Amino acid sequence: MYLLCTVFTTDGSLANSALPDVDFVNIPFNAPQDVMISAGRTCTPLNVSIISDLTHEMMSKVFSLILYDLQPLSSMVHIVSGQLQTTITITDDDPENNVPPVVSCIPDVTETTPLGTGGRLVFYTEPTATDDSGIVSLQQRTHGPGTFFSSGVTQVTYIFVDPAGNTAECTFRVIVTEIDEVPPVIACVGLDVTETIPLNVFGTPVQFREPTAADNSGTAILQSRTHTPGQFFQSGTTQVTYVFRDPSGNTAECSFNIIITVGMS
């Protein structure tokens, strides 16, 4: 391959250059100090061999490749001297390419669902990202809009990546709360009671069957009642009302009549 690279010593002086159709560069025998290889933006070396005439003692010098490329690839540099070989990993040290994407995250998403459903489909506006390169991609996300989220709290993470491999992430929560909006169901049929009392009697104690209630939560509580069994009822018609509620505060009521008639003397 053609490696468009130039070799410099650390003091900035030119040491050697690669030639067209040559896939290696020569490091001078008398390199005064550590050598740094700088590659242009079009240089994407893989397994680049750097052949050196350095002595065994000189092999202790540090060699590094600073790769300025929009899409740096993990590569290996081989420095060879006789039977000796040293391997150095290439990394991208371009400060301009070390800037991660900028993510516009979103706040936590809160939804409700009926009690007992276990969750619901949740839709939301996805996070977005920008990058100084002008190109940014969604690398990974744990969930997406329209996903079924179980009741409770679920953490959602989006990871964005730019062409240089820099990543940035956004994390938010999807909170699904089960809400009970169904009132209790009351057995309120056939509860009217009719009693007859003698003439000149103003009323009588009346026993009646109390209504009962059930709820999808499993608990229905008697909240209030206007009368109780065995209570004295005056002649005429009296409406009796029972109110039940569930743990979520939903209420339902049942009304029936106690009818006291006056018979003949």
pLDDT 10s digit of each residue in the chain, 265 long? Answer: 223 344 443 444 444 443 333 334 444 444 444 555 544 333 444 334 444 444 444 444 444 444 433 344 434 344 443 333 344 444 444 555 678 999 999 999 999 999 889 999 999 999 999 998 889 999 999 999 999 999 999 999 999 999 888 999 999 999 999 999 999 999 999 999 999 999 889 999 999 999 999 998 899 999 999 999 999 999 999 999 999 999 999 999 999 999 999 987 5
Domains plus CATH for the chain?
5-97 (no CATH), 102-179 (2.60.40.10), 185-262 (2.60.40)
The CA distance from 152 to 247, in Å, is: 19
- Helix then strand then coil, % of the chain, to nearest 5: 0, 50, 45
The CA distance from 109 to 147, in Å, is: 13
Whole-structure pTM value: 0.51
**Which residues, in sequence order, are bridge partners of residue 185?**
214
